[in-house]
Structure 1
Amino acid sequence: MLTTAIGVVVIVLHVAGVLAAMHAVMNTRTPQGAFAWALGLVFLPYVTLVPYLYLGRSRFHGYIDLHRARRGQIQALYAEHLADASPPVVSERYGEIARMLGARFHEGQRLRLLVDGDATFDAMLAAIGEARQCVLVQFFIFHDDMLGRRMQQALIDRVRTGVDVCVLYDGIGSHALPHAYVDTLRQAGVNIHPFATQRRSNRFQLNFRNHRKIVVVDGKRGFVGGLNVGDEYLGLKPPLAPWRDTHLEIEGPAVADLQRSFAEDWHWVTGVLPPLLKPAPARGTAHTLIAATGPADRQETCSLFFVALIHAARHRLWITTPYFVPDLAVMAALRLAVFRGVDVRVLIPSRPDHHTVFLASSLYAHDAVRAGIRVFRYQPGFIHEKVLLVDDDTASVGSMNLDNRSFRLNFEISALNVDRAFAAQVEAMLDNDFAHAHEVTEAEYEKAPYLRRLAMHVARLFDPVL
């Protein structure tokens, strides 16, 4: 009897594996991902079937259909209420990015570079404390720790003065957030919701996370970048401390596009729009485009965003990223930049927060070095910043990593800024970061033990879900 039962289970698993493999072939976004899933599901369903249920889903039609149907309506509504009266800024250098995203450059933005967690949350909490009408808050991660409770109290204080407060957090990114934390905010009057691409709870849905970090205060001051709400982002949690990250504060018409991105996600979750508030007039010098990307877009907009910026570089391209797992298009663009004579540098961590991604990144770092790309490892602590500097006038700050999750599976946002003064500030910041880094050589890979090199190659097989 036992043998018969085991045989039945094996047959059922293999049948389920074949059916799942057919689903993977039809629905996985890349041929490499489809092949990897199908191979594992057919021959090793005992190992791959459960992970596929969590990680293999590549479509979420309900969100896509509503997102595309309502996006135009929301954009029209926001244009009516928040439109910048000035004509669109024409920037043919990055025109393909604007056209791809249906976005625009706004001129006259006032920018403030926030170079670490202390500077970021000091500025952000101060701005929230000055709110008079509305605060919009969106983070991938909230933690119930010292910083999380500071943010919680700041939002409660604003609600008590009559300010509308809307909060989105990612249901998976904030999986450890206690219900009591959310309940305390909700009972105080904060309108708070978890983001998910399906309105009905789905325990098997781990992909398509909302990785955006947005704060907008009274429609006039906007914040975007790489930091979440937790003590580790202040460098208070070894062994990754000190934590290196960067955020950006924006004042000007581009803040309306941060509001619009938040509104699209908020409308999906709640069915209503947050308050519409006019941005501040143009009083700065920067031209800024808000690049909101995600898996509901018709194109792979995040990957193409990086490719376009890399192709635009003529003499310098500096990139910082915690996860260096580029796809073929991005890696090819980096190689071509080297052939153009561009100073291409990539700054990555020297210690892991996710071991599998770190191993895959190490192999890509080796490939990059062999292609003439200079790769550096940041030494003092973990580097999490997502910054890109092009030549002497362009800098992007946001939530986008150089990995498949950002390229194809996550909702991301960055501010692309064209301004020589701001680019000079970013250059000075990155100069300091590179001064605290060691350059990677081919010897790092070649002198590594065989089993570690094997682990790097195995880790790279998981590119589609890293």
Structure 2
Amino acid sequence: MTSSLLGLAIALSYALGIVSAVMALMSSRTSQGAVAWIISILTFPYVAVPAYWMFGRPRFYGYVSARGARDSVLRQVLSRYRDKVTPHLAEPGSAEIQAVEKLAMMPLTRGNRAELLVDGEATFDSLCAGLDNARDYILMQFFIVRDDELGRRVQRHLIRAVERGVRVYFLYDGIGSHSLSEGYLRDLADAGVAVSAFRSSRGVRHRFQLNFRNHRKITVVDGQKGWVGGLNVGVEYLGQSQRHGAWRDTHLSLEGPSVLGLQEAFWEDWHWATDEVIELAWQPAAAGTTDHRVVIVPSGPADQQDTASLLVQNLIHSARERLWVTSPYFVPDQGVQDALRLAAMRGVDVRVMMPERPDHLLVYLSALAFLPDMLKAGIKIYRYLPGFLHQKVILVDDNAASVGTVNLDNRSFRLNFEITAFIPSASFAADVDAMLREDFSRCREVSLDELYRQPMWKKVISRAAYLTSPIQ
């Protein structure tokens, strides 16, 4: 009897494995991901099948986007606000910018002021000053929030805002901020801050959505001023970590109609997390004399398109003279790799800046597998030396740049909720140019000979790590 039950259990396990492999074949968003899952499922079914059902879902279900849904409560509110933006719309001027608008499902607006914030001190000085000037509401979300000196500094500013009568909404990712203390959250809630975690799994229908993260970093004050970029809330982002040392990052402060794009992304995320539709101000206002054109590009696993990957490919294809890219985690999909190589082959100055010090070993090793092909095509690879490089910036020619949360890897392209500010304005591009030139002066250039000299064991491990990149 026991042997019969064991045999039945084994047969059912393999049957479930076959079903899971077929599901991976039909639903995976990339062929590499499908192959990786199928091989794992058929080779190690007892481990891979549960992992697939927990982490292998190709899309994030249940998330209602005001930009995409037809009949949602969010869409009804949004339809009333979008007409107010019409006087602030900018002419795209090129097919590439039109494509960005379509990907974002948000408009290109004019009358904005975009200011680069280089590293943590500048970022949190600007952000905390903005919190102190809030009069109606504050929206804040981060992927990582820590209960340390910086976290408590931000907490104090939020609590003081509530004491002035400001509504404060605080959203954090449940996985990214897994170590955040209950006391920290309780102090915020007791003071009157509306606090919620963004959890990818919710309820019975969505209980297996465990591999998705909300990687966005957004702050909005009164619908008039916003912040977005690479920095989270923790002292390591101020360069105070023994492990990482100096921390190189870039954030962005925005004023003008584009801030409503940041607000809209937060608004949608808050709705998923809480089922609440919060009342906000949706009246756009120009930022005075500065006239940067900006389009906000939210992206994530609930999108019908692979928005982040397509955005990056579009920026690469639009480059005519140069394309400078910085990313801490550089394992792009095949489409982005091919676009980068083709850009270099047509004479574009393509440079990629990466950290010298690894933060995630698997991602670091994966990059070693394809960097030789990049160098052969004429792409220049640089390693940042002083500390850990975490900024996510792209400079296109002399007239456009992007700053946001998107890394050039599969997780950012397909598994994370991300957000990018794309700014096709020459004056802003000049600021980014000056910033990146300073960064490149602190880098070393990687040579093809250096990669060829890697020991065989490291090359083998790198290839194996790269095979897992579609499901990392």
Same fold, judged at TM 0.5 (above): yes
CA distance in 2, matches of 1:107, 1:270: 33
Q: Is the 8 A contact 1:78 1:276 kept in 2?
A: no
CA distance in 2, matches of 1:289, 1:367: 33
Aligned position for 1:292: 298
Q: 1:87 to 1:196 in 2, by over 3 A?
A: same
Secondary structure of the equivalent of 1:62?
coil
Secondary structure of the equivalent of 2:430?
helix
- The amino acid that maps onto 1:288 is V
Superposed CA offset, 1:291-327 (max 9, x none): 1111212211111100111111110100000111111
Aligned position for 1:19: 19
Aligned position for 1:212: 216
Aligned position for 1:56: 56
Deviation at 1:203, TM superposition (A): 6.7
CA distance in 2, matches of 1:181, 1:200: 26
Q: Are 1:158 and 2:161 matched, yes or no?
A: yes
Q: Is the 8 A contact 1:155 1:165 kept in 2?
A: yes
CA distance in 1, matches of 2:451, 2:325: 21
- 2:453 counterpart (436, 447, 455): 447
Deviation at 1:11, TM superposition (A): 4.4
Q: Are 1:376 and 2:379 matched, yes or no?
A: no
Aligned position for 1:306: 312
Deviation at 1:64, TM superposition (A): 5.5
Deviation at 1:348, TM superposition (A): 0.5
Aligned position for 1:38: 38
Q: After TM superposition, list the pairs within 5 Å mapping 1:350-389 onto structure 2.
A: 350-389=356-395
Q: Is the 8 A contact 2:64 2:272 kept in 1?
A: no
- The amino acid that maps onto 1:327 is D
- 2:111 counterpart (104, 108, 111): 108
Deviation at 1:15, TM superposition (A): 3.4
Secondary structure of the equivalent of 2:389?
coil
CA distance in 2, matches of 1:454, 1:440: 20
Secondary structure of the equivalent of 1:114?
strand
Over the matched positions of the two proteins, sequence identity in percent amounts to: 47
CA distance in 1, matches of 2:421, 2:61: 28
- The amino acid that maps onto 1:227 is L
Superposed CA offset, 1:362-413 (max 9, x none): 2232321122110101111111100000111111000011111111111111
Deviates more, 1:114-123 or 1:63-72: 63-72
Deviates more, 1:267-276 or 1:123-132: 267-276
Q: Is the 8 A contact 1:172 1:206 kept in 2?
A: no
Q: Are 1:199 and 2:202 matched, yes or no?
A: yes
Aligned position for 1:463: 469
Q: After TM superposition, list the pairs within 5 Å mapping 1:168-317 onto structure 2.
A: 168-200=171-203, 204-277=208-281, 278-283=283-288, 284-317=290-323
CA distance in 1, matches of 2:235, 2:7: 51
- The amino acid that maps onto 2:100 is I
Q: Are 1:333 and 2:352 matched, yes or no?
A: no
CA distance in 2, matches of 1:387, 1:441: 23
Consecutive unaligned residues of structure 2, counting only runs of 5 or more, are none
Deviates more, 1:87-96 or 1:2-11: 2-11
Aligned position for 1:318: 324
Deviation at 1:279, TM superposition (A): 3.9
Deviation at 1:26, TM superposition (A): 2.6
Consecutive unaligned residues of structure 1, counting only runs of 5 or more, are none
Q: Aligned pair count?
A: 465
Superposed CA offset, 1:324-352 (max 9, x none): 11112111111121122110000011111
Q: Is the 8 A contact 2:368 2:459 kept in 1?
A: no
Q: Is the 8 A contact 1:139 1:212 kept in 2?
A: yes
Superposed CA offset, 1:91-124 (max 9, x none): 3241111123222111121121101011101110
CA distance in 1, matches of 2:450, 2:2: 51
Deviation at 1:65, TM superposition (A): 8.3
Deviation at 1:433, TM superposition (A): 0.8
Superposed CA offset, 1:150-187 (max 9, x none): 11111111111110001111111111112222122111
CA distance in 2, matches of 1:141, 1:449: 36
Deviates more, 1:49-58 or 1:291-300: 49-58
CA distance in 2, matches of 1:141, 1:183: 17
Superposed CA offset, 1:269-297 (max 9, x none): 22333332234324212111111111212
Deviation at 1:10, TM superposition (A): 4.6
CA distance in 2, matches of 1:236, 1:357: 24
CA distance in 2, matches of 1:22, 1:429: 48
The TM-score, its normalising length taken from structure 2, stands at 0.93
Aligned position for 2:69: 68
CA distance in 2, matches of 1:382, 1:168: 26
Q: 1:369 to 1:406 in 2, by over 3 A?
A: same
- The amino acid that maps onto 2:326 is T
Q: Is the 8 A contact 1:84 1:253 kept in 2?
A: no
CA distance in 2, matches of 1:399, 1:9: 45
Superposed CA offset, 1:400-437 (max 9, x none): 11111111111111111122222111111111111111
